[in-house]
Amino acid sequence: MARQRLSRDDVIRGAVAYIDEHGAQSLTMRRLGASLGVEAMALYRHVAGRDALLAAVVHQVIDDLFNDSLMTEEPNSWEEYVQHVANALRNLALDHPQIFPLIAAHPPEAPWLRPPLRSLRWVDHFLRSLRDFGFSDSAAVDAYKALTSFLLGALLLQVAAVGVAVSPEEASMIEDGSLDQYPTLKGLQGKLAEDHSKREFDDGLDDLIERIRSILHP
């Protein structure tokens, strides 16, 4: 394959792929350069530095969400719209479990931009959609705040569990004996370990929608 000249987009997409495979911790300017067939220093022509690159990765992934099939179809109610946004973000988190924590942790561009819906374009889209469904300004903003809080907690927990499953050597870092101190926990360990994450997510989402409904009709 002939080597084209490197573009900014190549660098960012390369970083996304690298993090998906190896995790953000092991992304190094030198290693990313090597994976793109270029010296590390060439990357600085396209991004200001490592931090700026990670910020660009976050932005890229969040913006790709607009192309998710869930987002391209027109919703018939605000409930449907909220459900589509939530599930599109859930898919993103499951597709990029190594990147989602960056979305959560990286300082947003403005204090009123809340992860994981943290781009100007997204917030505008969300507020506009709800208003088109009849929400007042205040109700739309409150719904945005409630949704971001729910999604952040629910999805971060989901990918944290995935992250553990990925590194099996640490999967049972807890020696059998250490549970003897905690008999209640020991008895409930089986129940705790059961994974009902999809049901948990859907139940939480139903509750959230109920809550937004009560914001809408106080």
Residues in touch with DNA (CB under 7 A): 5-6, 27-31, 33, 38-42, 44-46, 49-51
Secondary structure (H, E, C), 119-165:
CHHHHHHHHHHHHHCCCCHHHHHHHHHHHHHHHHHHHHHHHHHHHHH
Residue 187 interacting with a copy of itself (CB under 8 A): yes
What is the Cα–Cα distance from 43 to 50, expressed in whole angstroms?
9
Show the CA angle centred on residue 59, arms to residues 95 and 79, nearest 5°: 65
Residue 29 interacting with a copy of itself (CB under 8 A): no
Residue 156 interacting with a copy of itself (CB under 8 A): yes
Smallest gap from residue 107 Cβ to a copy of itself (A): 5
Would you mind telling me the total number of residues written for the chain in this entry? 218
Look up residue 43 and give its DSSP letter. G
Residue 76 interacting with a copy of itself (CB under 8 A): no
What is the Cα–Cα distance from 103 to 152, expressed in whole angstroms?
9
Smallest gap from residue 21 Cβ to a copy of itself (A): 18
CB nearer DNA, residue 33 or residue 116: 33
Give SS3 for 110: coil
Tell whether the torsion through CA atoms of 76, 78, 80 and 82 is positive or negative.
Answer: positive
Look up residue 23 and give its DSSP letter. -
What is the Cα–Cα distance from 50 to 28, expressed in whole angstroms?
8
- Stretch touching a copy of itself by CB under 8 A, among 57-65, 81-89, 91-99, 109-117: 109-117
- Residue whose structure tokens are 């050597």: 169
CB nearer DNA, residue 20 or residue 68: 20
Taking Cα atoms as reference points, which of 141, 99, 136 lies closest to residue 116? Answer: 99
Residue 70 interacting with a copy of itself (CB under 8 A): no
CB nearer a copy of itself, residue 39 or residue 51: 51
Smallest gap from residue 61 Cβ to a copy of itself (A): 17
Binds a copy of itself by CB under 8 A, chosen from 4, 67, 69, 184: 184
CB nearer DNA, residue 31 or residue 121: 31
Which chain residues interact with a copy of itself by CB under 8 A?
101, 104-105, 107-112, 114-115, 120-121, 123-124, 127-128, 131, 137-138, 140-141, 144-146, 148-154, 156-157, 160-161, 163-165, 167, 170-174, 178-179, 181-185, 187-189, 191-193, 200, 204, 207, 211
